[in-house]
Structure 1
Amino acid sequence: MENSVKKGPYRYFDTPEGEDTFKKLWAVLKPTLVVAGGLGSIDVLMVTHPKGVPNTLGRYAFIGLPIVGIASTFVLTTNTLVNIRKKEDKLNWFLGGAAAGSWFGAWARKPIVGFNMALLCGFAAFLHKCVLDQGNQLIPTQYKRSAGGATACLRDFSLFADRPGKWTT
């Protein structure tokens, strides 16, 4: 009997495209809400310094809602296109990225910004889908530690390192 119990939270690629759309949306919105709240806090505390609760909430909404809208638009567009076209291909991701990128134009109140970002985000989503179709990852979850780089701070450079257990001379 196969173990059908999955451990850990739901991830975007646990089910095929077009299935479990709202689970996929929630899996994407959880980190998106954290990012939106963080960027909103940075804006409120370090940039705009609004006075009063309504102005502060307005700044949070101005920063956070488009970010949430961009992520939601991408997930809903790609999954809806899979269900409409009955194909899971790169065109769905391009159109989803283009729809999400068009939010930038509404945010900036400039149509040319929306057009350019739609093309850029659509192309980025297309490339990401190409990488995923080949079985690779853009951002690997596991990586090899090298002698230098970002993991150098995790190494022990002391002259006399602590020895494990009951080590004696």
Structure 2
Amino acid sequence: MAQPKAAAQTYSYFDTPDGEETGKKLLCVLRTAVPASISVALGNVMLYSHPKGIVNTGLKMASITLPMVGIASTFVLATNGLASIRKKDDHLNWFLGGFLAGSCTGLWRRNRMFGFNMGMLGGILAAVRKELLVQGWDIVPQDYQFHPGGPTFCLMDYSLTKERPKNWTTGPSP
């Protein structure tokens, strides 16, 4: 049954335990992984590699985009697959999922030692992220305060006169 569009957009990766609703979790991760990897590939094509022709450009874009999307998909599928097989939602699933996702970079670069090292790094980072999730800590807090000169300075209003509210008046009517 089709869900309303608003309900589909509000789904978060952590709404359900690991091993359940893997398809929704995969779509949730791919919603950010695909545009991010296309942006990285586009930056590479326009600023660094400069392939000639539409076919070579498409192949270069695919050679960057597909492995990045594959790495994200590998983490989701491995973590949730292990959780459904083991019937446990613990740090080991996340470590192994991170290890498999990180080792995919070794396949991408065709270097086994690099893949092992990145697998260990990915596994450790994933296990730490799971521990942060279990403890209830946020990496990026939801109630972030804007500070002048911070990373969000471009979102501040630097106009000389700020726009008045639409129901603003100068004072009581005579």
TM-score (norm 2): 0.84
What is the aligned partner in structure 1 of residue 93 from structure 2?
92
Matched residues in 2 for 1:40 and 1:14: separation? 31
For 1:137-152, list aligned pairs within 5 A.
137-146=138-147, 148-152=149-153
What is the aligned partner in structure 2 of residue 80 from structure 1?
81
Q: In structure 1, the residue corresponding to 2:120 is in which secondary structure?
A: helix
What is the aligned partner in structure 1 of residue 114 from structure 2?
113
| Residue 167 (1) aligns with residue 174 (2) | no
Structure 2: which 5+ runs fail to align? Answer: none
Amino acid at match of 1:123: I
State the Cα distance separating 1:68 from its structure 2 match.
Answer: 0.5
What is the aligned partner in structure 1 of residue 48 from structure 2?
47
Matched residues in 2 for 1:46 and 1:156: separation? 32
Matched residues in 1 for 2:93 and 2:116: separation? 18
Deviations along 1:44-82, one digit per CA (max 9) or x if unpaired, are 111111111221111011110110111000000000110
Matched residues in 2 for 1:70 and 1:22: separation? 16
Alpha-carbon RMSD: 2.1
State the Cα distance separating 1:163 from its structure 2 match.
Answer: 4.9
What is the aligned partner in structure 2 of residue 136 from structure 1?
137
Amino acid at match of 1:166: T
Matched residues in 2 for 1:145 and 1:51: separation? 44
Amino acid at match of 2:82: L
Q: In structure 2, the residue corresponding to 1:19 is in which secondary structure?
A: coil
What is the aligned partner in structure 1 of residue 67 from structure 2?
66
Matched residues in 1 for 2:44 and 2:102: separation? 21
What is the aligned partner in structure 1 of residue 34 from structure 2?
33
Structure 1: which 5+ runs fail to align? Answer: none
Amino acid at match of 2:170: W
Amino acid at match of 1:48: S
Deviations along 1:3-40, one digit per CA (max 9) or x if unpaired, are xx984512211221111101110110111110111111
% of aligned pairs identical?
A: 45
State the Cα distance separating 1:155 from its structure 2 match.
Answer: 4.8
Deviations along 1:61-106, one digit per CA (max 9) or x if unpaired, are 1110110111000000000110111110011000000000001111
Matched residues in 2 for 1:28 and 1:161: separation? 38
Q: In structure 2, the residue corresponding to 1:136 is in which secondary structure?
A: coil
Deviating above 6 A after TM superposition, structure 1's stretches of 4 or more consecutive aligned residues are none
Paired residue total: 163
